[in-house]
Amino acid sequence: MAISKKGIKGITDALAQVDDKAEFIVKGLAEDDVDFLEGTVPKKMTINDFASKFNHDDEDGVSVFDETIPLGENLTNALTLVTAGLKPWEYKFLAAYASLPSMLCNILPIVELFGQAGSGKTQLLLAVAAMSGQGVISGQSTGASLKNHINHIRWADPETKQTEKNCLLLIDNLNEDSFKKEEYLSSFLNGYNKKTDTCYISNGKGQNIEFRTFCPKMYTTIWEKTSTELARRTIVIRTKKTAELDNVIDPDDICWQPLRSAIKDFWNQEDNWQPFKDLGKKFSRHPKPKHSKEHWTLLKSVLISGVSIGVWTDLDACIAETSDWLTTALKSRHNLLEVVILKSLEDILGFKQAEWSVLAQSVKIHVLPRHLKDATDLAVRDGLIEKPKLSDVQQILSKLGFAAGQKDNQLGYAYKGIKQ
């Protein structure tokens, strides 16, 4: 005979009164009679349970989600609340990056949040973490542990690597020596492109362990990177120490859950997949104002993702804003053209700049134009600079103490010394 729901309720109530930790199993009940049973009476909450909820629950935070505006605009607005001093395009770019469907991407830039201590870069990283639902790891992690972590966040089953997940690698406080380790650097150099991301590490038993290191990557640092190959793959967002940081909201005080859910729901909807692919084709055909093809290839997936979720209103606005930012950013990289020319002169002459004045007292310092052109052409191919104008090169050479001159009937640039 089946027991009624009312009868079962009476039994569970009685058991709960005897012991609020009681566990019970009711056998022989009709399926319809037990559809509301969980099988156990909830345990009393411990301080560990509360601590876990307290540290991960942001539902009581400030609500920033506005259902009347696009998701991308919501994400951008949220980022402007937790930091200050960035350019408008940078907030938009970070919003697009935080919500990437990495499963649908093949090439992605690395994002570096660069700035002095107290400039808000870690707060920005924590906001991206809360927005995306991804965790932050320490910059002190080893190369092997980094590869393991990527496998963990990218695959539903890291062993079989059959089912991919949307993911985002977030690293706080990479130090000066991080990229001097080959096993660490390789995860960044190869892991920006899905077609080149597979690597193997020996387990010491004659077997190789496979790692696939592709995923979007964002990190904070106070150190200038020295690898030109890494620079080619990286978009640098420079945070600034400004008085406006006193007025920002702590990321822990914001309710991020609606934004996380909205991102997940958007990319789980099949209706959004084909438009993303179609937008990629449109982006490839769209005329670009300037800048190298490498820059646009690197940024493509982030930009079309941003347009898809409403960070930018359309592709035209996205490309125009991005072009303006690239122009400014490339000019402000510590005048990178000057750095390239100075380094090439030091390599050609075999002496550091500080030694040129002494050297010029005994020999005639002369540089051929083709040697400088080789150096600048290489920097252009690497995506470090745009193709420079001759007048810009000559202006920098003049600043460094060189003027048009001749040696052995060859025209070039002779060192005359820096005018005081």
Instruction: Please write the tens of the pLDDT for every residue from 345-372.
Output: 988 998 888 889 888 888 889 899 999 9
| Max avg pLDDT among 21-35, 37-51, 150-164 | 150-164
6 or 229, which is more confident? 229
| Domain contains 253 | yes
| Domain contains 62 | no
131 and 253 both lie in a single domain: yes
Could you give the CA distance from residue 191 to residue 186 in angstroms, rounded to a whole number? 7
Model pTM?
0.70
327 and 363 both lie in a single domain: no
Residue 33 has pLDDT above 60, yes or no: no
281 and 325 both lie in a single domain: yes
Could you give the CA distance from residue 417 to residue 400 in angstroms, rounded to a whole number? 8
Residues 6+ apart with CB under 8 A from 412: 366, 367, 368, 369, 404, 405, 406
Residues 6+ apart with CB under 8 A from 144: 183, 201
User: Residue range 213-238: average pLDDT?
Assistant: 89
298 and 343 both lie in a single domain: no
Q: Which pLDDT value is given to residue 177?
A: 82
| Domain contains 281 | yes
Q: Which pLDDT value is given to residue 277?
A: 97
343 and 310 both lie in a single domain: no
Q: Which pLDDT value is given to residue 216?
A: 97
325 and 306 both lie in a single domain: yes
| Max avg pLDDT among 14-28, 131-145, 299-313 | 299-313
Could you give the CA distance from residue 61 to residue 256 in angstroms, rounded to a whole number? 8
243 and 284 both lie in a single domain: yes
Neighbouring C-beta atoms of residue 414, cutoff 10 Å: 16
| Domain contains 50 | no
Least confident of 25-29, 54-58, 313-317: 25-29
| Domain contains 347 | yes
- Choosing from 331, 358, 375, the residue where a domain stops is 331
Residue 380 has pLDDT above 80, yes or no: no
Q: Which pLDDT value is given to residue 245?
A: 92
Mean pLDDT of the chain: 84
Residue 403 has pLDDT above 50, yes or no: yes
Residue linked to tokens 């695959």: 155
Q: Which pLDDT value is given to residue 246?
A: 92
321 and 342 both lie in a single domain: no
273 and 401 both lie in a single domain: no
Give percent of the chain with pLDDT exceeding 90. Answer: 49
Residue 13 has pLDDT above 80, yes or no: no
Q: Which pLDDT value is given to residue 337?
A: 82
Mapped onto helix, strand or coil, the DSSP state of residue 58 is coil
pLDDT band at 143 (very low <50, low <70, confident <90, very high): confident
User: Residue range 326-350: average pLDDT?
Assistant: 79
| Domain contains 59 | no
Residue range 284-298, pLDDT digits in tens: 999 988 778 889 999
* Strand 254-255 with 198-202, pairing: unpaired
What six digits make up the tokens of 145? 């542990």
Residue 407 has pLDDT above 70, yes or no: yes
CATH at residue 245: 3.40.50.300
295 and 401 both lie in a single domain: no
Residue range 244-281, pLDDT digits in tens: 999 999 999 999 999 999 999 999 999 999 999 999 99
Could you give the CA distance from residue 278 to residue 183 in angstroms, rounded to a whole number? 37
317 and 360 both lie in a single domain: no
| Domain contains 52 | no
User: Residue range 329-338: average pLDDT?
Assistant: 67
224 and 358 both lie in a single domain: no
| Domain contains 384 | yes
The total number of structural domains in the chain stands at 3
User: Residue range 52-73: average pLDDT?
Assistant: 81
Could you give the CA distance from residue 302 to residue 319 in angstroms, rounded to a whole number? 12
The domain containing residue 37 runs over which residues? 5-44
Residue 401 has pLDDT above 50, yes or no: yes
Which candidate, 285, 318, 327, places its Cα nearest to that of 299? 318
